[in-house]
């Protein structure tokens, strides 16, 4: 049993593998969070020959929530391809085209065509493709991790239901409100960026739109819309004070980081509808007004990470995906980062287990390759928002160097 539950693990990184993570053995790997990053990590590890992999998800159902459009770039698509997920399974509209439209007075005044280096999927399509490939017994739902400590030198996880599980490696892929980040890297806090991504799913079986359309109606807003199976997925970014956010969604942004359909009351609907009426061309106003299923995500910032891996007793814990570095949605990098980091982690662990690579060095190399991409996205978010006049201007986070 746990000697103690750590709130701030300490200890210098080791240079030699010891204990159950030794070369050639099968380590026990616990992945926390059964969304895109966690499921991808579990599948990659199983695919690489790790047999003792458990995936713990706090939500009680297989799908913690539904989700909309996600652009994946070629490296992430390639990772999924290597897992046997054919693009036809997750890409409903095979378009690389992005139409960027400047709107003034609710009229298109300028249109530019861009080519996206990837394809659009949806959270729901991708999550289904991932979970349907998990072997029976890997995914454990209704298991919320609350703490990490050690037992006889081995990392020990504590769960909300009072149970405990040991592991040699703990992979926290538990999203932007990450428990893992709170335990391992407690000084990094989320801050509300002053605007909201309002999302909607409009069932329109006859939709003529085949590409991604981005409308920029002027300072303080942006409207994106794209086809998804059975309709249109739209995201309307609007500046919003914390007080107004609380009024619309029943709790402050730091507490309600996903406003689900049942949190969207009449005030929130009226707020979005009024902005659509005032700012968007007529067909898009109709799309927004007739959308029944809506969600909202407050855009958050976080101090840049300086490391991705921590020694815990004889084992390790790592952060990846939104748990490591939630980035602003219009960078379109969050899921890409998580998938790319998962592939890099699986490669590092495989080199260690199969060929005896030094584990600390392998994790350091993994961190050195993936931290800069996460930091770049953290810095890119405020720059995009500033260009669009969205939210409250934030001081640019200072670049930091890796420490592990
Ligand atoms: C409007 C919008 C548009 C976006 N567009 C893009 C895009 O185009 N491209 C892109 O790459 N990204 C995009 N993103 C970002 C992307 O959706 C996220 O980065 C990605 O879904 C994060 O996945 P994740 O698995 O790391 O975290 P999450 O999806 O947040 O999953 C975390 C999981 O961990 C579980 N969990 C949490 N705490 C615990 C615990 N203590 N114990 C056990 N389980 C726990 C949760 O229930 C959840 O299932 C967008 C985001 C938004 C909001």
94-117+191-301 has the same fold as 5-69+124-189+302-388: no
pLDDT of residue 61: 77
Q: How far is the CA of 35 from the centre of ligand 1 (A)?
A: 6
Q: How far is the CA of 175 from the centre of ligand 1 (A)?
A: 5
Rounded mean pLDDT of the chain?
90
Residue with the nearest Cα to atom 30 of ligand 1? 175
Best residue among 5, 30, 31, 33 to mutate for probing ligand 1, ranked by most atoms within 8 Å of CB: 33
For the segment 123-161, what is each residue's pLDDT rounded down to a tens digit? 999 999 999 999 999 999 999 999 999 999 999 999 999
Q: How far is the CA of 13 from the centre of ligand 1 (A)?
A: 29
Using the atom order of ligand 1, give the atom closest to the CA of residue 174. 34
pLDDT of residue 294: 95
For the segment 342-355, what is each residue's pLDDT rounded down to a tens digit? 999 999 999 999 99
Where do the domains of the chain lie? 5-69+124-189+302-388, 94-117+191-301
CB of 224 closer than 6 angstroms to any ligand 1 atom: no
Residue 404 predicted with pLDDT over 90: no
Best residue among 31, 32, 34, 35 to mutate for probing ligand 1, ranked by most atoms within 8 Å of CB: 35
CB of 156 closer than 6 angstroms to any ligand 1 atom: no
CB of 285 closer than 6 angstroms to any ligand 1 atom: no
Best residue among 42, 66, 70 to mutate for probing ligand 1, ranked by most atoms within 8 Å of CB: 70
CB of 336 closer than 6 angstroms to any ligand 1 atom: yes
Residue with the nearest Cα to atom 20 of ligand 1? 335
Residue with the nearest Cα to atom 7 of ligand 1? 332
Q: ∠ CA(197), CA(372), CA(176), 5° rounding?
A: 35
Residue 400 predicted with pLDDT over 50: no
CB of 38 closer than 6 angstroms to any ligand 1 atom: yes
**H or E segment at 364?**
helix 359-388
pLDDT of residue 342: 98
Architecture of domain 5-69+124-189+302-388: 3-Layer(bba) Sandwich (3.50)
For the segment 196-245, what is each residue's pLDDT rounded down to a tens digit? 999 999 988 666 899 999 999 999 999 999 999 989 999 999 999 999 99
CB of 122 closer than 6 angstroms to any ligand 1 atom: no
pLDDT of residue 24: 63
98's CB contacts (< 8 A; 6+ apart) are 113, 114, 115, 116, 211, 212, 213, 214
Q: How many residues does the chain have?
A: 404
Q: Taking residues 101-117, report their average pLDDT.
A: 95
CB of 199 closer than 6 angstroms to any ligand 1 atom: yes
Q: Taking residues 331-347, report their average pLDDT.
A: 98
Q: ∠ CA(46), CA(324), CA(170), 5° rounding?
A: 40
pLDDT of residue 205: 67
Confidence class for position 1, pLDDT limits 50, 70, 90: very low
Distances (CA, A) of 223 to 41, 194, 275, 364: 32, 17, 11, 40
3-state DSSP call for residue 112?
Answer: strand
Q: How far is the CA of 188 from the centre of ligand 1 (A)?
A: 18
Q: How far is the CA of 167 from the centre of ligand 1 (A)?
A: 24
pLDDT of residue 16: 38
pLDDT of residue 319: 98
Confidence class for position 4, pLDDT limits 50, 70, 90: very low
pLDDT of residue 244: 95
CATH of domain 94-117+191-301: 3.30.9.60
CB of 235 closer than 6 angstroms to any ligand 1 atom: yes
Q: Taking residues 28-46, report their average pLDDT.
A: 98
Residue 126 phi/psi, 5-degree rounding, is -70, -40
pLDDT of residue 13: 38
Distances (CA, A) of 37 to 11, 44, 46, 220, 254: 27, 11, 14, 31, 22
CB of 56 closer than 6 angstroms to any ligand 1 atom: yes
Confidence class for position 25, pLDDT limits 50, 70, 90: confident
């Amino acid at each position: 049993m746990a000697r103690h539950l750590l709130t701030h693990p300490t200890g210098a990184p080791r240079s030699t593998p010891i204990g159950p993570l030794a070369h050639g053995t099968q380590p026990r790997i616990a992945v926390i969070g059964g969304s895109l990053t966690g499921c991808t990590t579990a599948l990659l590890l199983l695919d690489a020959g790790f047999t003792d992999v458990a995936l713990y998800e706090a939500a009680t159902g297989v799908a913690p929530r539904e989700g909309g459009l996600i652009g994946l770039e070629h490296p992430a698509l390639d990772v999924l391809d290597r897992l046997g997920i054919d693009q036809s399974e997750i890409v409903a509209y095979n378009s690389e085209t992005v139409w960027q439209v400047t709107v003034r007075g609710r009229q298109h005044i300028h249109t530019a065509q861009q080519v996206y280096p990837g394809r659009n999927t949806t959270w729901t399509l991708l999550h289904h493709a991932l979970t349907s490939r998990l072997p029976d017994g890997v995914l454990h739902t209704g298991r919320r991790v609350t703490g990490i400590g050690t037992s006889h030198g081995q990392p020990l996880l504590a769960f909300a239901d009072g149970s405990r599980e040991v592991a040699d490696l703990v992979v926290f892929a538990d999203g932007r409100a990450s428990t893992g980040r709170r335990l391992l890297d407690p000084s990094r806090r989320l801050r509300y960026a002053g605007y909201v991504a309002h999302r909607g799913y409009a069932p329109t079986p006859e939709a003529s739109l085949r590409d991604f359309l981005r409308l920029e109606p002027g300072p303080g807003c942006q409207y994106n819309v794209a086809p998804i199976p059975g309709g249109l997925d739209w995201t309307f970014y609007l500046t919003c004070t914390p007080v107004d956010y609380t009024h619309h969604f029943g709790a402050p942004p730091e507490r309600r980081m996903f406003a689900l359909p049942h949190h969207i009351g009449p005030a929130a609907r009226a707020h979005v509808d009024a902005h659509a009426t005032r700012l968007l061309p007529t067909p898009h106003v109709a799309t927004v007004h007739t959308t029944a299923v809506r969600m909202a995500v407050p855009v958050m910032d976080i101090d840049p990470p300086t490391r991705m891996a921590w020694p815990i007793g004889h084992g390790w814990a790592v952060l990846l995906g939104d748990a490591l570095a939630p980035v602003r949605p219009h960078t379109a990098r969050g899921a890409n980062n998580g998938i790319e980091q998962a592939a890099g982690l699986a490669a590092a662990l495989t080199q260690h287990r199969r060929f005896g690579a030094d584990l600390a060095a392998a994790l350091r190399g993994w961190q050195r390759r993936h931290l800069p991409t996460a930091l770049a996205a953290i810095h890119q978010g405020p720059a995009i928002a500033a260009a669009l006049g969205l939210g409250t201007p934030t001081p640019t986070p200072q670049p930091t160097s890796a420490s592990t």
